[in-house]
Amino acid sequence: HAISDVLPNASWQRCRTHFAKNLSAMVPKTQWPTLSAMFHTIFQQPDSESVCSQAKEVVAFCEQKFPHVADYLEEALDELLAFTNTPKSVWKKVWSNNPTERLNREIRRRTDVVGIFPNRDAVVRLVGAVLAEQHDDWIQQNRYMSLTSLEQTKAMITANVIDADTTTKEVA
């Protein structure tokens, strides 16, 4: 409720990575590559209309092969495709919370490699190294919403510009 008071046009974006993981649990392992390939075509479309159209095609495909998956996917489409209401330049930054998951996984992986830590400083150095790498990604603005990209996104939404890649430079 508080979010809708402050950001009246905000919507809930369901993480596509976690949703795909849920989908994979709904089909036999041998069928997952087919369903995965179809599911990922949704996010490879050039504009919001194509994304929605492709999503409907994937639901139709699932109705034939995986009816229970089709119902689940169709029910989640509004939350799964909420990113299409944002400027295209930030789609990859908002359609998944996977960067956070990737950070946590990398810390766990490096912790498992080391095994035990002789003291607290070793843990701090390990986590610091991982965070430094993530900071580099942040600076390059590849995966995260920086303050600059948030300002650009706000300006584009105010100007009612969603899909035009060429207007990104004009707004900035």
Structure-model confidence comparison of residues 56 and 120, the more confident one: 56
- How far is residue 35's CA from residue 9's CA, in Å, rounded to a whole number? 32
Residue 149 CA neighbour count, 13 Å, CB half: 18
Instruction: Report the interhelical angle of 67-80 vs 48-65 (nearest 10°).
Output: 160
- How far is residue 129's CA from residue 138's CA, in Å, rounded to a whole number? 14
Structure-model confidence comparison of residues 130 and 100, the more confident one: 130
pLDDT at 118: 64
- How far is residue 122's CA from residue 73's CA, in Å, rounded to a whole number? 44
pLDDT at 37: 94
Length of the chain in residues, anyone? 172
The tens digit of pLDDT for each residue in 127-154 reads 777 777 766 666 665 555 666 766 777 7
Cβ atoms of residues 87 and 68 within 8 Å: no
- How far is residue 167's CA from residue 119's CA, in Å, rounded to a whole number? 52
pLDDT at 166: 43
Give the confidence band of 35 by pLDDT, cuts at 50, 70, 90: very high
Cβ atoms of residues 59 and 74 within 8 Å: yes
Structure-model confidence comparison of residues 43 and 114, the more confident one: 43
pLDDT at 122: 74
Return the exposure string of 35-59: e unless at least 16 CB atoms fall within 10 Å of the residue's CB, then b: beebbeebbeeeebeebeebbeebb
Give the confidence band of 92 by pLDDT, cuts at 50, 70, 90: confident
